[in-house]
Structure 1
Amino acid sequence: MSISLSKGQRIDLTKTNPGLTRAVIGLGWDTNKYSGGYDFDLDASAFLVDQNDKCTNDLDFIFYNNLQDPSGSVLHTGDNRTGEGDGDDEQIKIDFNKVPANIHKIAITVTIHDASARSQNFGQVSNAFVRVVNEDTNVEVLRYDLGEDFSIETAVVICELYRHGSDWKFNAIGSGFSGGLASLCQNYGLSV
């Protein structure tokens, strides 16, 4: 049975789900009716960070132009440029057994492509969610629905998966940034 989380909640992933070694992080959203003349293109990304909450190099940033980290532990399944249809709009797969020892946290984010040029923000996005599915059993372990508490933000840290001893935990973050992808990259120690 899937557990539904609220903003700020933390939950154990691997300790209470002992068979969970490979997870699918499914992200989805809808866009409000908006007549700005541009389609929305939301992009999921993962930042693999060390104990200082920083990426050690550019290859620790997983997104539509870098679909997999060198260890093969994190894989982005590809860019969905329209968000059409039901279910997950984009997915990131994580193999917890392959995550390098120096990676302490995996931050999952969503940004709006060309948000400032298109005058778009997360105030125009609804029904955003993240869910964690056990890839081996296809069973949803948890779900976090973000709610509608954004206005000018163009990037959101959706959640973090982090090490706790030998186990992995999930933190429902839901924190917005106004500077888009550039702000997120700088936050995680990457130069833009």
Structure 2
Amino acid sequence: MAVINLQKGQKIDLTKGNPGLAKIMVGLGWDEVAKTKSGGFLGNLLGSKPAEIDCDASALLLDANDKLTSKDRLVYFGNLQSVDKSVKHSGDNLTGGGEGDDEQIHVDLSRVPGEVHKIVFVVNIYDCVRRRQDFGHIANAFIRVVNSSNEQELCRFNLTEDYSGKTSLIVAEVYRHSGEWKFAAIGEATRDASLSEIIRRYQ
């Protein structure tokens, strides 16, 4: 079965076309744009260069009103699993280096509580204001969904827009619809400077 490549705004069925699908891995990846030493001649002489860009992926478990009702339903590097253990984070990747997924979030759809209607996946740049970093410094960002039982990649969404000046991304969501689970490619960039600011959108 071929991987479905999505464009911004597109949606697909996850469980309807994959009977028995229960566990998925949501992989998020990005590359840092090639850095150059800064500061002109003196900067080059001293070897100064920008700080590494630390992107953080998180999952927000929302109710039917798109609200985050409990801090236990926020899964990120500081809280690696939801209280019901349906969503688990692989851990923080500080640089985005290497091939493939930089961070992974595992979802057991069969264990997601009935009152959770949507799981939103976001990425923000840690300490972006002090470090003067934005998504203009990031390239090749993507999100993909994999069937955990057989490691088959079900769909992929490559974020190809120019997100210069933006510091957070609402990447995609997995949500309930008519008794099934669907995936939606969002790709909405914001100027939220931290995960706390993103969360305020859902309170």
Unaligned runs of 5+ in 1: none
List per-residue Cα deviations over 1:3-35 (Å, max 9, x = no partner): 000000011011011132100000000011234
Instruction: Give the structure 1 partner of residue 78 of structure 2.
Output: 65
Question: Which residue identity does 2:9 align to in structure 1?
Answer: G
TM-score with structure 1 setting the length: 0.96
Secondary structure of the equivalent of 1:123?
helix
Stretches (4+) displaced over 3 A: none
What per-residue deviation string (whole Å, max 9, x for no partner) do you get for residues 64-115 of structure 1? Answer: 0100001110000100111111000000000000000010100001110001
2:3 maps to 2
Cα-Cα RMSD: 1.0
Residue 176 (structure 1) aligns with? 189
> 1:13–1:169: 8 Å Cα contact kept in structure 2?
yes
Query: 2:22 matched to which residue of 1?
Result: 21
Residue in 1 that maps onto 2:142? 129
Paired residue for 1:85? 98
Query: Is the contact between residue 107 and residue 161 of structure 1 (CA under 8 Å) also seen in structure 2?
Result: yes
What is the aligned-residue identity percentage? 46
Query: Which position in structure 2 is the counterpart of 1:186?
Result: 200
For the residues of structure 2 that align with 1:57 and 1:115, how far apart are their CA atoms?
26
Q: CA deviation at 1:153?
A: 1.0
Gap runs ≥5 in structure 2: 37-48
The count of residues paired between Structure 1 and Structure 2 equals 189
Q: 1:166 Cα deviation (Å)?
A: 1.4
| One of 59, 73, 83 as aligned partner of 1:46 | 59
* Comparing 134-143 and 32-41, the one that deviates more: 32-41
| Structure 1: distance between partners of 2:161 and 2:34 | 15
Query: Highest Rg: 1 or 2?
Result: 2
